[in-house]
């Protein structure tokens, strides 16, 4: 993967990421999580006790980087997410039909794609809530129920690649 | 400068900052945060801009300074756009703030949208005929 830009101000860089249709995806890696940032993380562990953490915190990739860019970089522009959904042939599925491997988008009323993740379990009986594998910003990767995260939950949509 | 906010308030801002996947998430959640709303209510636009400009001088800001910079920026964004327009136009020169270019665009786009809505509301208010206009219409109809 080719590094195409660098910026000394924030210690960030971009890599080349493309959709299936060879359209470039704007992205950025944040190379440093300061010790101060890291020292705050135990607070969040206490605040979100049901979140099952995996790996280590990283600024290299965010939720969209996990869901759509193989954990190699951060994608933060919602337009880029919709470009991927369109170019990569994702189609909407209902929550009750969700299967492991589908992706879930958390949409805000303002049109932002606040969060995304990968479905890892079928919706469980009674509440029909699947479990999701996602990443919370610069924090850890997290295993959580779809409705158990600090993002807008009133407009959650599921997508599946169809061929 | 971080003494403008209490530790608990900073903790809440830390969570927003660390969990943010997008600039829009920062914009929405910082502006809804009571501490940021409090800053906007307590200080004049010029004072907030002064605090912000002093804070962002540091090349390697610590976490608290970084959070305060965002808190001040979003507090300024809650003020009248006419008072902050000049500041906002040049704020993306502070490249040690992550997503500053995108945040600036979001703030300005939303401020402009709000200004246009305000004009529309005024227009609707003006569209209601004054008592003089009503009387004039009645007189014209009577002729």
Choose from A27, A31, A137, A139 for mutation: most chain B CBs within 10 A.
A137
Closest CA to A87 of A71, A111, A102, A68: A68
Structure tokens at B139: 């007189």
Residues of chain A with C-beta less than 8 angstroms from the C-beta of B20: 137
Contact call for residues A43 and A51 (beta carbons, < 8 A): no
Partnered with residue A18 across adjacent β-strands are A24
The more confident residue out of B74 and B10 is B74
Closest CA to B63 of A150, A35, A10: A35
pLDDT tens-digit readout, A26-72: 999 987 666 666 777 888 888 889 999 999 889 899 999 999 999 99
Can you tell me the mean pLDDT for A98-107?
98
Can you tell me the mean pLDDT for B55-82?
89
Which of A40, A74, A76 has its CB closest to that of B63? A40
A1 confidence band (pLDDT: 50, 70, 90): very low
Which of A30, A64, A136 has its CB closest to that of B19? A136
pLDDT value at residue B63: 82
Provide the residue ranges of all domains of chain A, joining segments of one domain with +: 11-161
Question: DSSP class of residue A151?
Answer: S
Interface predicted TM-score (ipTM)? 0.89
Strand A156-161 relative to strand A103-107: parallel, antiparallel, unpaired? antiparallel
The H helix count followed by the E strand count for chain B is 8, 0
Residue linked to tokens 């390697």: B60
Residues of chain A with C-beta less than 8 angstroms from the C-beta of B11: 40, 43
Tell if the CB–CB gap between B15 and A63 is shorter than 8 Å: no
Residues of chain A with C-beta less than 8 angstroms from the C-beta of B15: 43-44, 47, 150
pLDDT tens-digit readout, B99-128: 999 999 999 999 877 766 555 555 554 444
Tell if the CB–CB gap between B15 and A150 is shorter than 8 Å: yes
pLDDT value at residue A37: 67
Cα separation, B29 vs B67, in Å, equals 13
Measured CA to CA in angstroms, residue A157 lies from A128, B104, B113 at distances of: 14, 28, 27
Which of B18, B22, B98 has its CB closest to that of A139? B18
Choose from B9, B18, B64, B95 for mutation: most chain A CBs within 10 A.
B18
């Amino acid at each position: 993967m080719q590094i195409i830009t660098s910026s000394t101000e924030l210690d960030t860089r971009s890599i080349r990421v493309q959709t299936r249709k060879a359209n470039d995806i704007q992205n950025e890696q944040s190379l440093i999580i300061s010790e101060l940032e890291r020292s705050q993380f135990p607070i969040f562990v206490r605040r979100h006790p049901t979140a099952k953490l995996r790996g280590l915190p990283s600024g290299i990739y965010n939720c969209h980087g996990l869901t759509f860019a193989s954990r190699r970089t951060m994608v933060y522009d919602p337009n880029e997410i919709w470009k991927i959904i369109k170019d990569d042939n994702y189609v909407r599925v209902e929550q009750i039909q969700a299967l492991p491997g589908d992706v879930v988008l958390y949409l805000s009323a303002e049109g932002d794609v606040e969060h995304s993740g990968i479905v890892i379990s079928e919706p469980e009986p009674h509440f029909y809530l699947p479990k999701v594998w996602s990443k919370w910003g610069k924090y850890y990767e997290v295993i959580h129920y779809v409705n158990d995260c600090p993002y807008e939950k009133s407009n959650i949509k599921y997508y599946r690649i169809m061929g | 400068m971080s003494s403008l906010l209490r530790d608990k308030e900073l903790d809440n801002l830390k969570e927003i900052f660390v969990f943010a996947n997008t600039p829009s998430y920062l914009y929405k959640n910082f502006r809804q945060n009571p501490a940021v709303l409090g800053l906007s209510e307590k200080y004049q636009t010029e004072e907030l801009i002064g605090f912000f400009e002093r804070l962002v001088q540091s090349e390697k800001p610590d976490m608290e300074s970084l959070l305060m910079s965002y808190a001040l920026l979003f507090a300024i964004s809650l003020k009248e756009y006419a008072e902050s327009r000049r500041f906002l136009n040049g704020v993306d020169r502070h490249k040690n703030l992550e997503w500053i270019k995108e945040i600036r665009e979001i703030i300005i786009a939303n401020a402009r949208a709000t200004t246009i809505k305000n004009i529309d509301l005024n227009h609707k208010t003006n569209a209601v005929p004054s008592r003089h206009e009503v009387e004039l219409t009645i007189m014209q109809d009577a002729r």
